[in-house]
């Protein structure tokens, strides 16, 4: 099961550690949900997710402030004793003495952020959804062309990297070459990025490893991009019948999501960069409701 360490979350959101026990690297978060434990503080623990990050905002702090010190200690002890990974206080609220005591008693890190509760909660859930998303690694090249994430797949030596370099020279952006880490962040969205060790690098046979960022500047690269369209490159097979009109729609299954795709045959003399660029434009045009093949059919056979 995918997980992210509490230390990474602390670093990502610059959280203040009000109590620290040297265990944030070992505390792993594997659930993207975040709980505001208002019901729990009032005594209801039915369906309580003890593995979730707990967040105290204005309402929870006001409720605790209205309790006597004895009641506050009891309610916080009940919450902290259930093995929660951590507790975050928003809006820079000052922690109650009972909160600090329970944190130390059960070695539960107590953290604080100046952010508004709803803003922090939304950002944290979004971050966890990405970090905990199902993922796979594909052998391919991911580029951004006119805002569309284009994933090129194909056997080694078919020309993916050379095509990507020409695409970058034409003003578009490289996300990943050779290996693409793909995450399913929702039921409809795939995000791709390069492994950190080869980020911004591209391999061209005969030239070796090139740093695209250094060669063409920061505008030529991007950290991650959604995968909107898949282009499969394959060596031209005379025995195979390739799509001529573009009426039939292909899809490629990636982590359970069907992504629109096409197959482009490769042979000497074909300018793959221009073909891929036009394919990206044509894909966008189709998404906007225009299909040239259907338009031709209407012209030939009428409405």
Residue 15 has pLDDT above 90, yes or no: yes
> Which pair of structure tokens corresponds to residue 157?
């030596």
SS3 50: coil
The predicted model gives 64-91 an average pLDDT of: 96
- What CATH number labels 135-300? 3.40.50.300
Domain with CATH 3.40.50.300 in the chain: 135-300
Question: 189-227 pLDDT, tens per residue?
Answer: 999 999 999 999 999 888 899 999 999 999 999 999 999
- For residue 168, give Cα distances in angstroms to 175, 178, 216, 224, 274: 10, 15, 8, 15, 12
Active site residue 139: yes
Of 139, 205, 258, 287, the catalytic one is 139
The per-residue pLDDT for 299 is: 80
**pLDDT > 90? residue 17:** yes
Residues written for the chain:
303
Which tens digit of pLDDT belongs to each residue from 87-96? 999 999 999 9
Q: Which is the catalytic residue, given 72, 177, 178, 200?
A: 178
Spot the catalytic one: 72, 75, 112, 160.
160
Kindly report, as residue ranges, where domains of CATH 3.40.1390.20 are found in the chain: 4-131
What pLDDT was estimated at residue 303? 61
Q: Which of 239, 240, 244, 267 is catalytic?
A: 244
More confident residue, 294 or 222: 222
CA–CA distance, 90 with 87 (Å, rounded to integer): 10
244 is catalytic: yes
- The yes-or-no answer on residue 298 being catalytic is no
Q: Kindly list the distances between the CA atom of residue 225 and the CA atoms of 120, 143, 150, 182, 281, in Å, as whole numbers in the listed order.
A: 23, 8, 9, 10, 17
Top-level CATH class of 4-131?
alpha beta
Mark whether 213 is an active-site residue: no
């Amino acid at each position: 099961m995918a997980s992210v360490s509490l230390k990474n979350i602390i670093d990502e959101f610059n959280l203040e550690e009000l109590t620290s026990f040297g265990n944030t690297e070992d505390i792993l978060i594997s659930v993207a949900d975040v709980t505001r434990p208002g019901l729990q503080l009032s005594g209801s623990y039915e369906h309580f997710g003890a593995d979730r990050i707990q967040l105290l905002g204005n309402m929870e702090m006001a409720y605790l402030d209205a309790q006597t010190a004895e009641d506050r200690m009891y309610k916080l002890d009940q919450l902290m004793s259930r093995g929660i990974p951590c507790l975050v206080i928003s809006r820079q609220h000052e922690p109650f003495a009972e909160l600090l005591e329970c944190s130390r008693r059960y070695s539960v890190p107590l953290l604080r952020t100046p952010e508004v509760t709803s803003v922090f909660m939304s950002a944290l859930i979004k971050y966890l959804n990405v970090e905990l998303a199902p993922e796979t690694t594909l052998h391919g090249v991911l580029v951004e062309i006119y805002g569309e994430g284009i994933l090129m797949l194909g056997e080694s030596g078919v020309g993916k990297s050379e095509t990507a370099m020409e695409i970058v020279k034409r003003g578009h952006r490289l996300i990943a070459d050779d290996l693409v880490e793909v995450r399913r962040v929702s039921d409809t969205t795939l995000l791709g990025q390069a492994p950190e060790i080869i980020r911004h690098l591209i391999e061209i046979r005969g030239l070796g490893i090139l740093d695209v960022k250094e060669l063409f500047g920061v505008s030529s690269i991007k950290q991650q991009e959604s995968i909107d369209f898949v282009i499969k490159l394959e060596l031209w097979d005379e025995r195979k019948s390739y799509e001529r009109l573009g009426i039939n729609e292909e899809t490629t299954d990636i982590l359970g999501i069907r992504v629109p795709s096409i197959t482009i045959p490769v042979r000497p003399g074909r300018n793959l960069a221009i073909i891929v660029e036009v394919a990206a434009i044509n894909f966008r045009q189709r998404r906007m409701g225009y299909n040239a093949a259907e338009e031709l059919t209407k012209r030939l056979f009428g409405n």
